[in-house]
């Protein structure tokens, strides 16, 4: 995997670059739509590629391991062949899902024991086993198994959690280096920087992960209950240490404002379920602000959903019509909102990239931040 830094923004840590994988190149900063079960909910691959202009999507190791299962994925030739997505794929490690299943999981030195949310069956994720699972899924970028510490954790817990994550990383990296992909192409493996909201732990983690000389590094354990300003502080702490020659991935974040603030602090890659999950519930993000499509104020507003917007759906459907679909419970409402929101997120990071290259990101960002946080 090759990463080329193309530009940095005066007065900001924002940067533009490109990384190359076996399934194509990705321009950064980039937002990656979340395809938990091998699909981005309600969106065809053609729409992802041509309308939304996604360059890379995510798959979820925990969910794909349980269903459809590794045998089916391997027989298909990996997730790319199974779902028909020809561009890069990143898989998380399942660590966050184990974190969210706190009532039905146990963390041990050997790994994370958990019960399936589908049928209650018992399973164990080890650092080595997760590498094997992600090899079978066939992701271009694989994430290391970690413990995602709650944002409100006490220092003593965060200390023990980080130490466990680092011991797991050492084992996972060893397995990664002694194995190869099953489908004839190179796969990257990203360590994850943890440390909760404690600067000393974050600095230590950022320094320790770089001993592996990986293709890139992720920042995990944020947007999990801590204040937004604390999240931004931790990003700054980590990115002061992580080498600028490798891409930096902020996991599971977030709102358009979070993304702009992350870019400003030197983050290259983002993912979040927010554009699709919130979209399915009637929240539309636009360059002018945020709309709740169930509000009565849109009932007789026949203007385009987002005039001059990032996708064809923005001009094709009026606010009144989309509101009607939502209040009527029509599935098309969720599909339109998902396409629109994802296209907007990709437009937003694309605009950020343009302004970084043009050298005026520091002037552009405050204006755009005011727009995207406005409630319409």
What's the rounded Cα separation, in Å, for the pair 190 and 142?
6
* Contacts for 334 with CB less than 8 Å, ≥ 6 apart: 42, 279, 280
Q: Which residue matches tokens 């023990």?
A: 160
Q: Are 339 and 285 in contact (CB under 8 A)?
A: no
Q: Are 367 and 373 in contact (CB under 8 A)?
A: no
What average pLDDT does the segment 121-132 reach? 96
125 has pLDDT over 70: yes
Q: How high is the pLDDT of residue 102?
A: 63
The chain-wide mean pLDDT, for the chain, equals: 96
Q: How high is the pLDDT of residue 100?
A: 73
Q: Which of 339, 143, 94, 351 is nearest to 250 (CA)?
A: 143
Query: In 3-state terms, what secondary structure has residue 122?
Result: strand
pLDDT band at residue 45 using 50, 70 and 90 as cut-offs: very high
What average pLDDT does the segment 30-39 reach? 96
This prediction has a pTM of: 0.97
For residue 16, report the phi and psi dihedrals to the nearest 5 degrees. -120, 140
19 has pLDDT over 90: yes
Query: In 3-state terms, what secondary structure has residue 272?
Result: coil
pLDDT band at residue 198 using 50, 70 and 90 as cut-offs: very high
What's the rounded Cα separation, in Å, for the pair 74 and 69?
9
pLDDT in tens, 245-265: 999 999 999 999 999 999 999
160 has pLDDT over 90: yes
pLDDT band at residue 225 using 50, 70 and 90 as cut-offs: confident
Sheet with 188-190, strands from edge to edge, namely 57-59, 89-91, 141-143, 188-190
What's the rounded Cα separation, in Å, for the pair 332 and 325?
7
Please give the sequence-ordered ranges of beta strands (E in DSSP) within 283-359, or none if there are none: 283-286, 289-292
> Which helix (DSSP H) or strand (DSSP E) does residue 20 occupy?
strand 15-21
Question: Annotated active-site positions, please?
Answer: 92, 271
pLDDT band at residue 108 using 50, 70 and 90 as cut-offs: very high
pLDDT band at residue 243 using 50, 70 and 90 as cut-offs: very high
What average pLDDT does the segment 99-125 reach? 86
> Which helix (DSSP H) or strand (DSSP E) does residue 370 occupy?
helix 361-372
What's the rounded Cα separation, in Å, for the pair 123 and 133?
13
What's the rounded Cα separation, in Å, for the pair 343 and 349?
10
**DSSP per position, 35-49:** -TTSS-TT--HHIII
pLDDT band at residue 218 using 50, 70 and 90 as cut-offs: very high
What's the rounded Cα separation, in Å, for the pair 100 and 274?
17
Whole-number percent of the chain with pLDDT over 70: 99
96 has pLDDT over 80: no
What's the rounded Cα separation, in Å, for the pair 339 and 359?
30
Q: Which residue matches tokens 């098309």?
A: 332
């Amino acid at each position: 995997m090759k990463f080329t830094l193309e530009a940095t923004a005066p007065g900001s840590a924002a940067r533009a670059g490109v990384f190359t994988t076996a399934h194509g190149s990705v321009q950064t900063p980039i937002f990656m739509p979340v395809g938990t079960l091998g699909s981005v909910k309600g969106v065809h691959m053609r729409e992802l590629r041509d309308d939304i202009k996604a360059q890379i999507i995510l798959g979820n190791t925990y969910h794909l391991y349980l269903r459809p299962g590794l045998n089916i994925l391997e027989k298909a030739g990996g997730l790319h062949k199974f779902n028909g997505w020809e561009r890069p794929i990143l898989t998380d490690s399942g660590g966050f899902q184990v974190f969210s299943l706190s009532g039905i999981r146990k963390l041990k030195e050997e790994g994370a024991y958990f019960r399936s949310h589908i049928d209650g069956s018992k399973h164990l994720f080890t650092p080595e086993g997760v590498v094997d699972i992600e090899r079978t899924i066939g992701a271009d970028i694989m994430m290391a198994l970690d413990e995602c510490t709650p944002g409100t954790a006490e220092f003593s817990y965060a200390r023990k959690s980080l130490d466990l994550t680092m011991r797991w990383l050492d084992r996972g990296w060893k397995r990664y280096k002694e194995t190869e992909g099953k489908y004839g192409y190179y796969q990257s493996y990203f360590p994850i920087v943890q440390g909760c909201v404690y600067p000393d732990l974050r600095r230590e983690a950022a320094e320790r992960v770089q001993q592996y000389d990986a293709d890139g590094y992720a920042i995990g354990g944020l947007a999990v209950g801590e204040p937004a300003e604390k999240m931004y502080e931790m990003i700054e702490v980590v990115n002061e240490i992580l080498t600028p020659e490798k891409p930096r991935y902020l996991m599971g974040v977030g709102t358009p404002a979070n993304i702009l603030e992350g870019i400003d602090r030197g983050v290259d890659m983002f993912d979040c379920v927010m554009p699709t999950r919130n979209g399915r519930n009637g929240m539309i993000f636009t360059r002018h602000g945020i709309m709740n499509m169930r509000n009565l104020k849109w009932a007789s507003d026949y203007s385009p959903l987002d005039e001059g917007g990032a996708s064809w759906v923005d001009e094709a459907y009026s606010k009144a019509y989309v509101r009607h679909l939502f209040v009527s419970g029509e599935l098309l409402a969720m599909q339109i909102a998902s396409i629109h929101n994802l296209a907007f997120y990709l437009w937003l990071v694309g605009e950020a990239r343009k302004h970084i290259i043009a050298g005026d990101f520091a002037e552009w960002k405050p204006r755009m931040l005011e727009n995207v946080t406005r409630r319409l």
